[in-house]
A and B are shown apart, each in its own frame.
Chain A
Amino acid sequence: MTKKDLIDQRLVKEAEQMVMRTHTRRHFIKESAMGLGALAMGSLLGGCGSKKKAAHSIAFDPAHPLLPKAPAFFGKAKSVIFLHMAGAPSQLELFDYKPELSKMDGQDCPPSFLEGKQFAFITGVPKMLGPQAAFARHGQSGAWVSEHLPHLSQVVDEVSFLKAVTTDQFNHAPAQLLVHTGSPRLGRPSIGSWVTYGLGTENQNLPGFVVLTSGGSFPDAGKSVWGSGFLPSVYQGVQCRSEGDPVLFIKDPDGMSRDLRKASIEAVNKANMQEYQDYNDPEILSRISQYEMAYRMQITAPDVMNINDEPQYIHEMYGTKPGKACFANNVLLARKLVEKGVRFVQLFDWGWDAHGDNPSNALNIGIINKYRSVDKPVTALLMDLKQRGLLDETLVVWAGEFGRTPMMENRNGAQNPFKGRDHHTEAFTIWMAGGGIKKGYTHGETDEIGYSAVSGKVDAFDIQATILNQLGFDHEQFTYPYQGRPFRLTDVGGKVIQEIIA
């Protein structure tokens, strides 16, 4: 017997003893009595099951939870890059041009906009605030884009704008949860988890759902926006760092050779397998596969996640800052990951909350720096995906969790010291590109001052339904059984936005 076998044996034995320690006489009697009943029950339940065959059932293989699977129908998009501007960018300074609003600048807000409304900070009667940017039409599609996005305005003919997006949550955390999990409360799986659950991922050496953050802070809703909720935990987003090691502790510690690492993982897996045979909990199989993937990732991840070997002109195109954690680096990394077969990449960039209570979040100071930090990389991403032939099959979504008020914020009734806007739920702009979405199109309209949606109104569920549709899923059929009922991402809402589908 080799030394390795010996270690293995010892580990398995240890695990067995742990189990036995918790196994009391009471357990034994209970199991003996319940066992027969459970057997009978099992056959009874199986016998009278009248379960309607779902239109699309997903074969969940706990031992290989991430193997690629076919979608329900043919989907044009194979992967998704979701760029979330956490804090909610202002549609009125970027895409939703409202000349009428500048005429009202400085006037008291008409009471009709305030009666019966609730805002996060605005109290009393705020002043109106005109657009803090010059606008122009761009491209053949004639899309309105402000001077703050000089690069994106050059590629509007690749993009479909949704200008009348609404939400019912005016605080960051619930609104972000709604966008990503379909519920403003904690506990639901995020869209990336749903997608990796439904489609698996092509590259078995990398996670299927990767999350990258920038802006110096996590999104307000925390890690729940990439959580797996009630789906098997293997589908939760894997957060990687864009600075230093992509994943913490990815290198073997000093003195631990690759062989020893392999041996120890094999031993742990053996013990886990034993555990699985006793308890039949599929989460244990998931854990085994996670250990194996982690081992493979130690080799592949540092390679894929290293943007330094990209040529200089690509770095210039994205405007990266090598060695630092920044949005541009994350965007370039996102392209590399999608290229290597990662299914869903979610980017969060924090710092868009333009209240104007301090210079860093003033519309005419700090927020301008935010515009500049994303404009070039996002434009580069679209063009780079395009020239690599990836834009056809990669859906890019740019969104915040809500919009900003046409009124200037007056926190506690007093005018804020800098120019800023409060959270706004009734209208904001997002855009999508690639993955079978129409090029150079604008859907939806807001009223003269951009307060509320007039036509083409959509909400988070509609966007989720559309994303799933592009990947080949009917959001109404794509469900997961939990607590006795099938759950779906879009809950009871959602309508695919056919208008923006090419």
Chain B
Amino acid sequence: MLALVDFIGRFHPVWVHLPIGILLMACLFQLFAKRYPLLKPAIPVLLFWGAITAIASCITGYLLSLSGDYDQALVTQHQWMGIATAAVSLIFYGLNRLSLTGRYTRLGAVVILILIMITGHLGGSLTHGADYLTAGINEAGTAQEMKPIPNIQEAVLYTDVVQPVLQRKCYSCHGSSKQKGKLRLDAEAQILKGGKDGKAIVSGKPDESALIKRLLLPLNDDDHMPPKEKPQLTPNEVAVLSWWISTGNSFTKKVKELPQPDKIKPVLAALQSGSSGEIAKKTELPEEEVGPADEGTLNKLKEAGIIAVPVSNETNYLSVSFVTAGSRAQELVKLLEPLKKQIVWLKLEDSNITDEGLAVIAKFTHLTRLQLANTKITDAGLAQLRSLQQLQVLNLVGTGITEKGLASLKELKSLRALYLYKTGVGTAAWARLKQSFPKTVLDSGGYTVPTLPTDTALVTADNKK
């Protein structure tokens, strides 16, 4: 039964447009009735149906308000204005039928118009939030990212750090205008009270607090918050909320009064400096967007047997492979020049590319993965790749590259993996290289799997283990 009530109630936002439209037409007809007398007979009919649909709206609206997801004060105002609209239009209809309106006809139309506008605005505030109309004007005030705090240690953790996060990412559904799941996060008492499913936070235990648990659920989980389509919290924001709960969710204490484990320090530092400060989490693709690749060039590549496909349907960045065109890579690599912004992955293993070809590749500034295994490139050629500031993975397996060549790549800040199996890098150079590339995983390869006697021994029924 409750479900049915809820179901009917949910028609309210759709249904209300009927009385709005019909009554609006009635009012307009009334206002122009003098000039176009032909409109007159339509007015009572419109008023009648307007009043009937308005009453139906009141009923569905009441059923919807039972869900309790909305700001009660606002709901009450909206409710009485709605009832007033229905009542006035019904009375006006009655007077109209009895031809008692006399010279007040126009006044009645204006009253109904005003009532509709007020009720409509209140209803809009309920569904879209009270600040919906002005959100565009106040955009600067609702920035999506954390604002820098000049002196983070002196700041009050709740009001200066936590509350702004909740305000940006949670209030729209758990604030003054809406209380989804009967949860409000915009006041101390309400946060502690929790919602329909119990307490939102367990003081000192972020892992057990529904507030944090839901943030950490996989995005596709139905219980994940914020819902998939809404702006998500950044890792730093989650870290701040979770730290706040773990330190006893004080609403008054300053940052410096609270214990600061190592994990939170970089987050606080980021808040102070105002850099977006996400804990350097590298994405596979460059941050900036690029335009689509040139069709003509793509066709040329296709004819030449070079594979070039977007790395996903969501981006214009390309993955390019010479897997079947390796023997002509040196001459063909120039074809890629018009795509120098789009290419992020380039596979040239076992190709005839030389240092000369690398000069072309050095222009592909968005390149994140470069595969040059088993090619004839040398240290001198490699130095040209210094320009590839986005490069994350470089595969030099089976090339003649030595420590000297790698030294020229030291400035590649994004480099996270360097594959050096079967290269000219000597064992003595290894420790030095590790120092030059502190953030890069250097893979020397050369792994062995020793042959054990048991590997080949055969167990038989007579020769049990």
Residues of A within 8 A of B (CB): 56, 68-76, 150-151, 154, 202-205, 313, 316-319, 339-341, 359, 362, 364-366, 368-369, 372, 375-376, 379-380, 383-384, 386-389, 392, 472, 495-496, 498
Give every chain B residue within 8 A of A313 (Cβ-Cβ): 448
**Cβ–Cβ contact A369 & B459, under 8 A:** yes
Per the bound structure, the CA–CA distance linking A27 and B443 in Å amounts to: 68
**Cβ–Cβ contact B449 & A388, under 8 A:** no
Per the bound structure, the CA–CA distance linking A151 and B457 in Å amounts to: 15
A298 CB → nearest B CB, Å: 15
**Cβ–Cβ contact A341 & B448, under 8 A:** no
Give every chain A residue within 8 A of B448 (Cβ-Cβ): 313, 317
Q: List 6 A-B contacts (CB under 8 A).
A: A202-B321, A386-B447, A387-B397, A387-B445, A388-B373, A389-B397
Contact of A68 among B307, B444, B456, B457 (CB under 8 A): B307
B284 at the interface (CB under 8 A from A): yes
**Cβ–Cβ contact B313 & A389, under 8 A:** no
**Would you call the interface of chain A mostly helix, strand, loop, or mixed?**
loop
**Cβ–Cβ contact A341 & B323, under 8 A:** yes
**Cβ–Cβ contact A387 & B464, under 8 A:** no
B324 at the interface (CB under 8 A from A): yes
B393 CB → nearest A CB, Å: 7
Give every chain A residue within 8 A of B313 (Cβ-Cβ): 56, 70-73
Q: Which residue of B lies closest to A133 (CB)?
A: B465
Give every chain B residue within 8 A of A69 (Cβ-Cβ): 309
Q: Which residue of B lies closest to A73 (CB)?
A: B312
**Cβ–Cβ contact A205 & B464, under 8 A:** no
Contact of B461 among A72, A75, A319, A365 (CB under 8 A): A365
Q: Find the residue from B220, B313, B444, B465 having the highest chain A CB count within 10 A.
A: B313
Instruction: Using A74-B314, A386-B445, A388-B373 as known contacts, list a sample of 20 further A-B pairs with CB atoms less than 8 Å apart, ordered by residue number in A.
Output: A56-B313, A69-B309, A70-B310, A70-B312, A72-B314, A74-B315, A154-B449, A204-B305, A318-B449, A319-B449, A319-B456, A340-B323, A364-B464, A364-B465, A369-B458, A372-B456, A372-B457, A375-B455, A388-B419, A389-B395
A2 CB → nearest B CB, Å: 26
**Cβ–Cβ contact A73 & B323, under 8 A:** no
Give every chain B residue within 8 A of A318 (Cβ-Cβ): 449
Q: Which residue of A lies closest to B283 (CB)?
A: A74
Give every chain B residue within 8 A of A72 (Cβ-Cβ): 312-314
Q: Which residue of B lies closest to A70 (CB)?
A: B310
Per the bound structure, the CA–CA distance linking A316 and B450 in Å amounts to: 8
**Cβ–Cβ contact A496 & B218, under 8 A:** yes
Residues of B within 8 A of A (CB): 218, 220, 284-285, 305, 307, 309-315, 321, 323-324, 349, 371, 373, 393, 395, 397, 417, 419, 421, 443-449, 451-452, 454-461, 464-465
A361 CB → nearest B CB, Å: 12
**Cβ–Cβ contact B449 & A317, under 8 A:** yes
Contact of A389 among B305, B321, B371, B459 (CB under 8 A): B371
Given A365-B464, A388-B445, answer yes or no on A496-B454 (Cβ-Cβ < 8 Å). no
Q: Find the residue from B305, B419, B447 having the highest chain A CB count within 10 A.
A: B447
A144 CB → nearest B CB, Å: 19
Per the bound structure, the CA–CA distance linking A472 and B312 in Å amounts to: 8
Contact of A203 among B220, B323, B445, B447 (CB under 8 A): B323
Give every chain A residue within 8 A of B349 (Cβ-Cβ): 339
Give every chain A residue within 8 A of B307 (Cβ-Cβ): 68, 202, 341
**Cβ–Cβ contact B397 & A319, under 8 A:** no
**Would you call the interface of chain B mostly helix, strand, loop, or mixed?**
loop
**Cβ–Cβ contact B393 & A389, under 8 A:** yes
A459 CB → nearest B CB, Å: 17
Per the bound structure, the CA–CA distance linking A279 and B444 in Å amounts to: 57
Per the bound structure, the CA–CA distance linking A440 and B297 in Å amounts to: 43
Contact of B460 among A316, A365, A380, A387 (CB under 8 A): A365
Q: Which residue of B lies closest to A499 (CB)?
A: B218
Per the bound structure, the CA–CA distance linking A368 and B464 in Å amounts to: 10
**Cβ–Cβ contact A74 & B312, under 8 A:** yes
Contact of A368 among B310, B417, B459 (CB under 8 A): B459
Per the bound structure, the CA–CA distance linking A316 and B444 in Å amounts to: 19
Give every chain A residue within 8 A of B456 (Cβ-Cβ): 319, 372
Give every chain A residue within 8 A of B284 (Cβ-Cβ): 74, 76
**Cβ–Cβ contact A203 & B324, under 8 A:** yes
A338 CB → nearest B CB, Å: 11
Q: Which residue of A lies closest to B321 (CB)?
A: A202
Give every chain A residue within 8 A of B444 (Cβ-Cβ): 387
Give every chain B residue within 8 A of A73 (Cβ-Cβ): 312-314
Per the bound structure, the CA–CA distance linking A376 and B371 in Å amounts to: 28
B91 CB → nearest A CB, Å: 44
Give every chain B residue within 8 A of A202 (Cβ-Cβ): 307, 321, 323
A187 CB → nearest B CB, Å: 29
Give every chain A residue within 8 A of B419 (Cβ-Cβ): 387-389
Per the bound structure, the CA–CA distance linking A369 and B456 in Å amounts to: 9
Per the bound structure, the CA–CA distance linking A203 and B455 in Å amounts to: 35
A383 CB → nearest B CB, Å: 4
Q: Which residue of B lies closest to A56 (CB)?
A: B313
Given A202-B323, A203-B323, answer yes or no on A388-B312 (Cβ-Cβ < 8 Å). no
Contact of A204 among B324, B393, B460 (CB under 8 A): B324
Per the bound structure, the CA–CA distance linking A339 and B454 in Å amounts to: 30
**Cβ–Cβ contact B443 & A389, under 8 A:** yes
B225 CB → nearest A CB, Å: 16
Per the bound structure, the CA–CA distance linking A341 and B323 in Å amounts to: 7
Q: Find the residue from A364, A369, A372, A375 having the highest chain B CB count within 10 A.
A: A372
B344 CB → nearest A CB, Å: 10
Per the bound structure, the CA–CA distance linking A351 and B397 in Å amounts to: 37
A182 CB → nearest B CB, Å: 19
Per the bound structure, the CA–CA distance linking A299 and B386 in Å amounts to: 39
Q: Find the residue from A71, A386, A388 having the highest chain B CB count within 10 A.
A: A388
B372 CB → nearest A CB, Å: 10
**Cβ–Cβ contact B371 & A383, under 8 A:** no
B47 CB → nearest A CB, Å: 37
Q: Find the residue from B323, B349, B395, B421 having the highest chain A CB count within 10 A.
A: B323
Give every chain A residue within 8 A of B323 (Cβ-Cβ): 202-203, 340-341
Contact of B421 among A359, A380, A387, A496 (CB under 8 A): A387
**Cβ–Cβ contact A365 & B451, under 8 A:** no
Q: Find the residue from B314, B371, B395, B397 having the highest chain A CB count within 10 A.
A: B314
Top 7 nearest A-B pairs (CB, nearest first) are A387-B445, A389-B419, A383-B447, A359-B461, A70-B310, A498-B218, A341-B323
Give every chain B residue within 8 A of A359 (Cβ-Cβ): 460-461
**Cβ–Cβ contact A384 & B447, under 8 A:** yes
Give every chain B residue within 8 A of A76 (Cβ-Cβ): 284
Per the bound structure, the CA–CA distance linking A369 and B310 in Å amounts to: 46
Give every chain B residue within 8 A of A71 (Cβ-Cβ): 312-313
Give every chain B residue within 8 A of A339 (Cβ-Cβ): 349
Contact of B459 among A56, A150, A341, A366 (CB under 8 A): A366
Give every chain B residue within 8 A of A56 (Cβ-Cβ): 313
Per the bound structure, the CA–CA distance linking A221 and B313 in Å amounts to: 35
**Cβ–Cβ contact B393 & A392, under 8 A:** yes
Give every chain A residue within 8 A of B312 (Cβ-Cβ): 70-75, 472
**Cβ–Cβ contact B397 & A388, under 8 A:** yes
**Cβ–Cβ contact B452 & A150, under 8 A:** yes
Per the bound structure, the CA–CA distance linking A383 and B323 in Å amounts to: 23
**Cβ–Cβ contact A205 & B324, under 8 A:** yes
A205 CB → nearest B CB, Å: 6
